[in-house]
Chain A
Amino acid sequence: MKYIFKIFRFDPEKDKEPYFQEYEYDFLPSISILEALITIRDEVDSSLSFRYSCRGAVCGSCGMIINGNPDLACRVKLETLYPDEIVIEPLANFEILKDLIVDMGPFWKAYREIRPYLHTKNKPPEKEHRISEKAMEKIYPFVNCILCACCYSACPVVSKDENYLGPAALAKLYRFVKDPRDHRPYSFLKRINTQEGAWGCHTIFKCVEACPKEVRPVDGIEGLRRKLIIEKIKRLLRFRK
């Protein structure tokens, strides 16, 4: 079946401004956007650049905007899109490095800032920590995050405030805060007790809509807010004593 792809093109060194290039090609409707892009690059225009790796929606490389929606190119099939004209753009809220490849620098910076690692208090036990599956189930939805940045691209707060940490980093932090093994001190949470952290979210739920892994970052952000309020009350009580 004939498809028309309108693909965002930009090489900051060569082009004055971005433009859309059209490619017409016969594809099986059952293939993915990623397979189509690879075919276009191989058969039509080898200068086209985009990221990809696993093609199974688990590595998080191929986030892009497909007909207006951020998604992983590998998991969107041509036949699910209507009409047969497909518009492909790079993820929003990022600088363009080339074509569909964006500079993920700010995204990884936010990730680093939340201290994305387990912080235990005591020496680890001889064997494993004994924890219940029920306690772990609370973090599983957030463990599922593959850091593809689709949510970051969809977030209206990120688009206005480049210092806002964004949904993925905050959801990742919540994964640790809720982990029964984690005992990070309050000082670790100061960075997010701000408008550029957990309080910046406008709960518009764009991130939930955009997530290809059903992570629901907003739930994590709300959880962090509850945690911050509880911490505040605890400190007030301690102060009174």
Chain B
Amino acid sequence: MVKCDILIIGGGLAGLSAALKIPQELDTIVISKVHPLRSHSGAAQGGLNAALANHPEGKHDSWELHAFDTIKGSDYLADQNAVELMCKEAIPTIYELEHLGAPFSRFPDGTIAQRPFGGGEFPRTCYAADRTGLVLLHTLYEQCIRRNVKFLDEWLVSKLVIKNNRCLGVIAIELASGKVVPIKAKAVIFATGGYGRVYLRTTNAYINQGSGIGIAYRAGIPLKDMEFVQFHPTSLHRTNILITEGARGEGGYLINKEGRRFMEDYAPHAMELAPRDIVARAIQKEIEEGRGINDEYVYLDLRHLGAEKIMKRLPGIREIALNFAGIDPIEAPIPIQPAQHYSMGGIDVNEKCETVVPGVYAAGECACVSVHGANRLGGNSLLETIVFGKIAGREASKYVREGYIDFKSDRELNESAKEIEEKIKVWMSRTSGTRAHELLNKLKAITTEKVGIFRNGKDLSYALETIRQLREDYKKAYLGSPNLKFSQELINIIEFELMLDLAEIITLGALNRTETRGSHYRRDFKERNDKEWLKHTIVIYTDKGPKISYKEVIITKYKPAKREY
């Protein structure tokens, strides 16, 4: 049995950020499915928001205006106290990252450069060309190396063990051997990222199967606002690799088959820099109504920016377009289509990253504070990972030092580990039945088709039925190979059940919410309905299936108003 004070699950930005805030005398382990530098945070491109007021056009920017833009962007579903906290903390956080070594791009006066992003009144997105996630991930990992943070790389956490509303630890699988190992921890921080791979078309990495959120849910921790799924407007056609919003921030145009900048029909003022929900819907509508190219995509045109700007500010985008589509954006427009990108919902936490179970915390994309409400603004997710990662690290440390009472948990942990071993044995003993990857392909097709950008009651009910059928099929799942060493099949068969849970909760939340808000667009309920639906969806696991309830949105000083761009 492995033992520690604080176990951080996930080695992306939220996890590393938490690790760096925990005093060195507490025994901390960061456990991750992959080497931390392979985490999906590294794929983030465009930047992170902070009202530094470095941009000549942003001299009057302030954290209050950043908060307002975020709340308006959220379609007023964000908890305003949490948004205020994040936007205020954003400023010292950027300086801290810079001091730790992050190589931000610079303005001529030597200050950190900022670019415009969707839904922001001023240019306030700080960036390092178009590899901001990569440089931040490396910077924080470097600091972890400096501080000798302990890592367990390539371990899959498959269960959170809770008894009498107390955190005992987790059960994990060492992927190199396939061994099931209990880990006793006084506190656990979830920093496991999103679930993009529940969808067929997603910008997310293959690893983003969302099992962290699923594990918390199965242990009885409520999830919040899961029906709010962000679709990024611009993913590369076919591979769905992210093409940063920064490309539009730098001045890129979206054009349809007729060569027209169609955003003037949808957001005449903000144009290409309207928030993501609006731009993604506009593109999808253009494609559906026959104004896309080959009925599949539209163009992101950067040619007018010129070679120098593209090479300096968007070198990674050029590399992606060249490598993966054979197109040089200096000479030709990039074919793009919307794809699942981000989860606004997640593990229900407050602004201290606390869940309902003492000792269990969550931060980053897997958590829902909520600072993004019904639609996240670009540049706010990297920010969230770092600001709330730090808070989670600090709060967990405080809990271990002041709130934790030790009691025997070895027996429960060992029993839970046995249960998982038994499950694996059953999967291995079967020689026929269903395979996890086949079931997953079916699930992805349904979510993308029926629980996508445009939704309606009929489609959602159909999806729910299919998901429940897949759950029946999963009961016959088996492992094709008996070799459990570095077995992706083993990871898939474990995670698939949790992916089913997430798909079910997303669909159920979407079906119940009979209004349109942010990313959640109902063709049969096209208006926002504050009277009935200005509230968070809360879902709790029960033996009989997910149980839904609702929770008030915290409003401080920004009154819900109509959202126009």
Contact = CB atoms under 8 A, between A and B. Distances in A.
Greatest chain B CB density within 10 A among A115, A128, A130, A144 is at A128
Contacts of A111: 145
B143 A140 contact: no
B131 A144 contact: yes
Contact of B486 (A49, A54, A116): A49
B180 interface: no
A61 interface: yes
Given A117-B101, A118-B142, A132 B106 contact: yes
A95 interface: no
A75 to B, nearest CB: 5
B2 interface: no
Contacts of B42: 54, 58-59, 146
B135 interface: yes
B563 interface: no
Contact of A143 (B103, B205, B206, B480): B103
Given A47-B483, A118-B142, A57 B437 contact: no
Contacts of A133: 105-108, 113
B486 A128 contact: no
B480 A46 contact: yes
Interface size grouping (class) on chain B: 35 or more
B207 interface: yes
A124 interface: yes
A98 B106 contact: no
B369 interface: no
A10 B549 CA distance: 52
A181 B112 CA distance: 14
A209 B106 CA distance: 30
Contact of A97 (B100, B139, B176): B176
Contacts of B207: 53
B225 to A, nearest CB: 26
B43 A136 contact: no
Interface string B478-511: 0111010111110000000000000000000000
A49 B484 CA distance: 10
B488 A59 contact: no
Interface stretch (B31-39, B248-256, B301-309, B454-462): B31-39
19 contacts: A11-B483, A46-B435, A46-B487, A47-B480, A47-B483, A47-B487, A51-B38, A53-B207, A54-B206, A56-B320, A75-B323, A97-B485, A97-B486, A126-B95, A130-B109, A133-B113, A136-B106, A143-B128, A143-B131
- 8 nearest CB pairs, A to B: A118-B101, A130-B110, A47-B481, A49-B486, A117-B142, A124-B99, A46-B480, A133-B106
Interface of A: 11, 13-14, 38, 41-42, 45-47, 49, 51-61, 75, 97-99, 101, 104, 111-112, 115-118, 120, 124, 126-133, 136, 139-140, 143-144, 146-147, 176, 179, 181-182, 213
